[in-house]
Structure 1
Amino acid sequence: MENEGTRADPRLQALESLLSLPAAELRPTLNTVSQVISELLHADKVDVFLIERSTQCLVAVGTSETPMGRLQQALGLDRMPLANGGRAVQAYETEKPFMTGRQEEDPEELPGIKFRLGVRSSLMVPLPIGEEIRGVLGVSSAKNDFFTREDLRFLTAVARWVGMVAHRVELAQELTKLAVKQARRAAAEELITVLAHDMANYLLPLQARIQLLQRRAARKQDLEDLRDADGAASSLRSLTRLIQDLLDVGRLDQGLFTLRPRPVDVAGLAREVATTASIPAHPVNYRGPEELVMIADPERLRQVLENLVANALKHSPAGLPVELEVQAQRRPEGLWARFAIIDQGPGIPPEQLSTLFERFARGPGSTGLGIGLYLARRIVEAHGGTLEVDSKQGLGTRFELAVPEAPTPAR
């Protein structure tokens, strides 16, 4: 009994030392893990193989600092394509342990492992990380019949501990990346808001100058100058909207964003947005009642509809219409107005749907700042309503917003 207790103590200490490793970078941590196990089992090589899904290879992310470990890396045997097979791949794919003391006689093992590395005994156990098998923990010796069944049971238990260590390191790395990303984003958002405030100070003088040019060109009946002045005025309006959007983002962050609700014919407002946005190449069709009076902030509601319609037009093939639908809905809590903006574009990739309404989120090919949809949802929520999207690639996109008869606190 004493011998068993004495033998168990180093193993227990090794397991405790594994869990006490700092959550640093993954490769140095797993190299240390491999070295600890190598010394404990007197192995010639220990590897922590992880699956690299992009190449479908098992990669030795951690390897013991031993002659056989260094030789493995020199021979390029620290990467094992799944297609090549071998016992490490088998343990990963079947999720079952493997043990042998006569590796050189095993026809299923790779020649490089048997003959170039000179492995004679090995243990391979699946490596669980998080909720899935992500690799293999392998132990090798140059001696025949070196490991015992007890060693295999012990290594199976160790694999769970190694998985916990790897998972903790990965979580720490993700948290660090997230913290850095959030810090950069916060700094960028503050800078953008300051710039928007400064730029807004130049808009009124610039607008006044352009109006003077328009009046002068009209008085002289200079059609070329009038066209250029009108183009400059249109560009200035776009710049003004962009700056106002940026300022709205800052107001939302500071809790200064407010609504000015009053009775408004939301059906007439939607019809006006459709008429204004419609062009021959991209018609916008309105469908809905002649009149639907609600309590809402008309300018903010217009801002939302214009944003969604412009977004739909941008992604619609030429000649295909965008539909703007309005409908009155009776719900248990009262009257609601439902708006739907439907396009026949390519749809939104599924991986982008989860971040579509986030601030500064942009899809492929987007040239904007990525704040339009963020503001649209926040404005709708300020009315106590909802804004959702339904999109399938190749089948178009449908944005649907609903607001109650009168603004209520956002849920």
Structure 2
Amino acid sequence: MSLWRKFLGKKAPSPAPVSEEGASLPLEEILQEWPLPAAVVDRQRGVPWSSRALKALSPSGELQHLLELPFSELVEIHRRLFEEGEVEEEVEYRERAFRVLGRRISSELAVLALVEVTRERTLEKELRFLASTLAHEFRTPLTALQGYVEALEEELPAEGYPREILSAIREHLHRLTRLVKELLELSRLSGRDLRCEALPVAALLQALRRAAEPLLQPKGLRLEIHPEKDLTVRGDPDYLVQALLKVLENAVRYSPEGGRIIIEVRSQGKKVRIAIRDEGPGVPEELRSRIFEPLVRGKNSPGLGLGLALARRLVCLQGGDLLLEPSGQGATFVFLLPVSSPEVQNFATGKG
């Protein structure tokens, strides 16, 4: 059951018109006593009615003051609410975190409700702190060990059992170094650092191709990109390229030498769909439901089990999603990224 069905039921109430005598609206009476911070907003981003809980949270009762978002993000939330009918975003207000749920109830009005998620976000911050602490504690001894290995390599003969042992040590040190790097990335993830921009998908894929070249060359892999023209998404360019690259790294890891990795792009409703497909063995059935959980990986997997979890978190922070799609051969990971509206694009580029 969705969160909206819990709060509004299967059908949202339709507001009754205000009579000439000034009789109160049934919806207004409901909102006044609603235990959640909630409000009705109109197409002009006004707030005609709000609950007492919202007024206690924000005495002004104004949406823009409550959300405290940059103008372009506020425009996008409002646009999605009235064009798509529903919206779900997370915001912070006075050191508290809220999930904002919106549903359109008529052509001119929509309802917004806030669900507090401060406790969940506090736990996430504690986990990020733990990951950061572990990464920093490991980094110094790992650097020292790598120095010792390099010193021993200069002294040992080019062949023989000691050299084989040293090569195995170097390989495990490399894996631990990658783990430390990804733990640091996990600890630094935060929605506060996001830049909301209108991004042409073609430019995003060009940046991805440049970053991917060093990964593709050792195995002789070909990257085929089939884009749809003139698509623009909303998000942070650095975070999006990083998320795409992590999924591409996963595809490279499991692809056979000389194989192909195919990226297909098309619009899908109010989202842009970017699918990355490889020709590897695919994801085992028993891992499919948990593939985006941290440290989940298959038997004998050369990966660390953090890359896909990081990629999905990066995408979800920007209002998108990352899914594993069933496929006949290999693995297909699908990014669903929010389309950037013309109004936000004009704001971002200084037009209009």
TM-score, with structure 2 as normaliser: 0.45
Query: Of the two, which has the highest radius of gyration?
Result: 1
Higher relative contact order (CA 8 A, sep 6+): 2
